[in-house]
Chain A
Amino acid sequence: MQPFLTLGPVLLNWPAEHWRDFYFQVADEMPVETVFIGEVVCSKRAPLFDRHFEEVVSRLKAAGKRVVFSTLAEVTSKIDRRLVKRVAASDELYIEANDASALWHLGGRPHAVGPYLNVYNEESLEFLCANGARSVCLPPELPANAIAAMANTAAGLGCELEVQVYGRIPLALSARCYHARAHNKTKDSCLFVCDQDPDGMVLCTQEGRPFLTINGVQTQSYSCLNLVGQLQELIAAGISRFRISPQSIGTGSTAECFQAVLQKKMSAEEATAKLAETEFEAPFSNGFYHQKPGHRWCS
């Protein structure tokens, strides 16, 4: 199978026009085959993008991108449940399921499985594939040997595996909004303060070291995952899809770098140097892949 790039859903709360223009740029310029779209982090944010949704989706489709609709990762409240139902119960959309409630609505229809649904082993993969899963994006903490074991099983099931190769790493979800908390508000009274931070709010240790990134109810790494050096190894193991998680700046040039390496037009070393020059500034990490602390960078 020809390996290709995918673009993960925008996880942050951008101004609606910025969000729309970003996807226009994806349609016009970005060398990604599949685009995941939809609110994954906070159901309160979803309506903010409604008025541009249709236009963005048709522009992406017209540009030949495959569009997949990602569902909310943590589903508790009535608003959460309505949002998941609206997306996952539709017969017309192809869905990336990010929690078990989406699987309930899908009822065995063909779908993708997102990185927020825990798929850590062969048995889980077999069960999900027997119930409609056609591709699975693996959890970000899986090390190389486990990824390879998963790829072995996936091949026999006709299931494609995806691995996030770039961007901040989603590390945790909570019922509580930490953006609201930092601003002395609660989730219900948040006034959408998360829109002040297009790449999330950096959380530092009291010694001043940047540590994590707050994105509403989600906690991400501060470091930026970069597996460009492991692409060929992942392809050899049988991984065919490589996910880039969007940041507010530099995502286009990042995708071009990865595409050049996939097409063997650029070496991994050259790509690493180029990626370090993009406007998005955060130290690289690849520790999870090497079965080390996730924040580490093993060159």
Chain B
Amino acid sequence: MNKLALIIKKNFLILVKSRWLSLVVVLGPLLIIFLTGIAFDNLNEYKINIGVYSDSYTELTNSFISKLNTEQFRTIKAKSEAKCIDDAKIGFSHTCVIFPANLSLGSKNKNVAIYIDYSKLNLAWIVRDRLFSRVEEKSAEITKELTENILSKLLLTKNEILTDIVLLGLAGDNEDEISGKNNEAFLLITSINTTIGLNASDIDKLESKISSVKAAFDITIDKATGNVEFSEDIVNSGGFSESDKDDYLDELDEQKDDIEGQRQYVESLFSPAYSGSINNTLGNIKLRVIRLNLNANITDALIASSKANLYNISLMLSLNGKLINKMAFSMDNVKKNLESIDKLSAEDIASPVIADIKPLTSYNSYLNYIFPTLMAMAIMFASLLLSAIVVVMEFSTPAYFRNAISPTGNVLFFSASYLTNLSLIGLQIFIMLLISMMFFFSQVIGNILTILAVCFLTASFFIVLGMGIGYLFKKEQMSILAATFASSIFLFLSNVLTPIENMPEFFMRIAQFSPFIISVSLLRKSILFGQSLISINAEILYLVVFTLSLLAVYAAVYYRNLRR
């Protein structure tokens, strides 16, 4: 058997013969996984006590409290705000919710204060998330109620509008009729002829014409008398028998008499009395004509005004018609909009989008989700502690001196320690993988090479680091402390206790390169998501580089000390 194998055999024999060490170091992490597995092998929430307080409880406050009082939460009414907060501080309750006094819809003070003990780390986040979701659920319920109320009002409004649209139609029809009548009236008024065709000057002209007629008559009478007298002269001087003469003269006399009679008649017509009467009549007529003309003018003005009014009415009716049309259009739009709202339920409006959180992988236990992290933790703790202890055991054993003076190089002892640790951690990994097959049989079997490679690299890094701790501190207590301290740092700078995203950016950037975080990530990807070595090669490379860097540092320190 070669030397390396014999040293490894010796290491195993010592570890196996140290029963307590075997139990603590080898079985300890497995025990942790087992216990954690039992603890987390369900999907139940935590039983969380919520302290509540309000100066004055209202129906809304009580509805909130009853909403919180679910399977996951148990509400405890505190006697005062300070007591509620103190209870959360001492751990009697996990959180404290202070409702404002007289909380009601529309009240000014609607701030609900939630006091969370963030020192409880992950529990605080769970409480916060669950509590907020409960409060949000209740808020959504209230929003839904309010929305339902608004929707019923909108429905009523829609019905009113439907009636109004019909009435608007009627109003439009009436308006058309009025407009027609208005046009008729306009035409009617327009058709009114107020022309008198007679004015005072016409009467004056009549008078003058009457005078002219009399004058012309007088002239005519004079002419006719002259003509008759001329004719008598002619008859008298002409060769007419007397008889004829007489006849003619008689005739002429008669004519003369007629003319005279006419003249007299006309003269009688133009007698001052008669003429005065005519003149009076004409004057009256003239006055009446003037008055008529005045009235006609007034009527014209009134007609013009009425026409203007009718025109304005027509314009206004036209405008009104347009307005009615527009209103009808608007009403129609409102109706359509209301109809579109009417198609939505209150829930659609109150919660237009529902965020449904779905797991990337679907398992029936928290253990499935935390198993890769647990496995990484177990590998880290076991590797760091075991390798530090194995190295320190070698240092503290009485046989160390004999090893040191033997012709066997330190590199061989280092390699033997590494392989011993790797074998033991390998055994743990094997058992953990067997356990994991209960949850991820197909994933583990289907991706076994990648998972083994990830486990090997993770274990190698932490074994080499743990050995370094052992070589550095040399004393068992100090090494265990240092290994535990190192593990704690890796744990704190990881997502296990708090999300690294909560850290200051500088630390977050550093933490991203934490070998533990990389290991957890690699195990999650390989076990939960079945990713191949190629797809996770960058992170694999990180672990390889970290491990080789550690070895390089050790080699540098070793050869420097050797030269000294």
Q: Is this pair of chains taken from one and the same complex?
A: no
Residue ranges of B at the interface with A (Cβ–Cβ < 8 Å): none
